[in-house]
Amino acid sequence: MNKASWVALSLLIAGSPVQANSTELLFFNWPDYMDPAILTEFEQRTGIRVKPSYFDSDSARNELLLETKGKGFDVVLISGASIRVMAKRGWLEPLDATDVPNLKHIAPSWRTAYEEANTYGVPYSWGSVGIIYRKDLVPFTVTSWMDLMRPIEALKGKITMIGDSSELIGAALKALGYSLNSTDVQELNEAEALLQAQAPAVKTYRYLSIGDDSALVSGEVAMSMMYSGDTRMLQQYNDNIVFALPKEGGNVWADYLGVLNASTEKAAAKRFINFLNEPEIAARNAQYIYYATPNRAAEELLSTEFKQDPIIYPSAEALENSETYHRLPARTQKRRSAIFSRIVY
């Protein structure tokens, strides 16, 4: 879907920003990434309605905000690697413990995991990126990114990838044994060649639905690149769905909540973020979305079974070869954008 279509779709779902009033917040988020009962409870408690709108990739979110110059929403779900760029453009409102007292519950390591995160973001969840597949449709145990990058003949047309520049190129780099933060021209060229060779086998670069209508549930798709916790969502519908964290490692990410500087409802937005970090609320939400919470007080309320789930809370050994994204030079970012455009568009 092109940028203009994303703008139209989001405004259709969320309603025109000029129609918002003092009791409504427009929240830009991934689908199925917050317990709707929590939004209802917030409205019952405060009289403030939260109206969600959705994106299906970090790139789509960033493109839409670029198109609107950071306007049109009040609260936005941000990947850690995007905070610095959005802050530099003046899109984000600073947040501190005065605005969000429940920041006291957040693990300090997540508050400072990315540039400007401590100033402009409140950690929401964290996880990893790997491969999800149907063990009844894939005739081997998946262990490597190459299982997805160079699919066997029977899987061609039955694999999908995440249509995000960082994730797509990062996975190719890891498959080749390189850092997902590589700036080396030859390594990036090799990653592009790998993705170009894979492209005819890819059904779509759109992120798969994680509901009962998912192509992975129906068997239309047999293997996909996916964020870890979404596996647990899909396993509710099919027991043959499994997740593999490739031996080469991948991206360990964190998502943050931010308030847009253009919002006319900043006080209500900060109140909403503070509410989400009440320990009991954060624990409930973590269990709904199946992702690890950076809220330490909330973790104390989670069951041992949840905290020992290797998909939600992978071991240090499992994450040994994984990385987080770092800021890259402008020239490298431009090169990666060009690679992404040649693959996806």
22 pLDDT tier (thresholds 50, 70, 90): low
* pLDDT, tens digit, 9 for 90 and up, residues 31-73: 999 999 999 999 999 999 999 999 988 888 999 999 999 999 9
* pLDDT, tens digit, 9 for 90 and up, residues 183-219: 999 999 999 999 999 999 999 999 999 999 999 999 9
Which CATH class name applies to 128-251+319-344? Answer: alpha beta
Domain borders along the chain are 3-126+252-307, 128-251+319-344
Cβ–Cβ under 8 Å, residues 292 and 285: no
Closest to 88 measured CA to CA, from 109, 110, 65, 104:
65
Q: Does the pLDDT value for residue 2 go beyond 70?
A: no
pLDDT cut 90: percent of the chain above it: 90
Give the tokens for residue 304. 């041992």
* pLDDT, tens digit, 9 for 90 and up, residues 149-195: 999 999 999 999 999 999 999 999 999 999 999 999 999 999 999 99
How does the average pLDDT of the chain come out, rounded? 92
Cβ–Cβ under 8 Å, residues 253 and 126: yes
Q: Does the pLDDT value for residue 7 go beyond 90?
A: no
Which alpha helices (DSSP H) does the chain contain, by range? Answer: 3-14, 36-46, 58-68, 83-88, 108-111, 117-120, 146-149, 165-175, 185-198, 215-218, 230-235, 266-276, 279-289, 296-299, 304-307, 330-344
* pLDDT, tens digit, 9 for 90 and up, residues 240-288: 999 999 999 999 999 999 999 999 999 999 999 999 999 999 999 999 9
Q: Does the pLDDT value for residue 294 go beyond 80?
A: yes
pTM of structure: 0.88
Alpha-carbon gap, residue 315 to 287, rounded angstroms: 19
* Same-fold call for 3-126+252-307 versus 128-251+319-344: yes
Long-range contacts of 283-286 (CB under 8 A, 24+ apart): 284/35, 284/38, 285/34, 285/35, 285/38, 286/125
Which CATH class name applies to 3-126+252-307? Answer: alpha beta
Average the pLDDT over 18-28 and give the result.
71
Task: Determine the pLDDT at residue 57.
Answer: 86
Task: Determine the pLDDT at residue 345.
Answer: 81
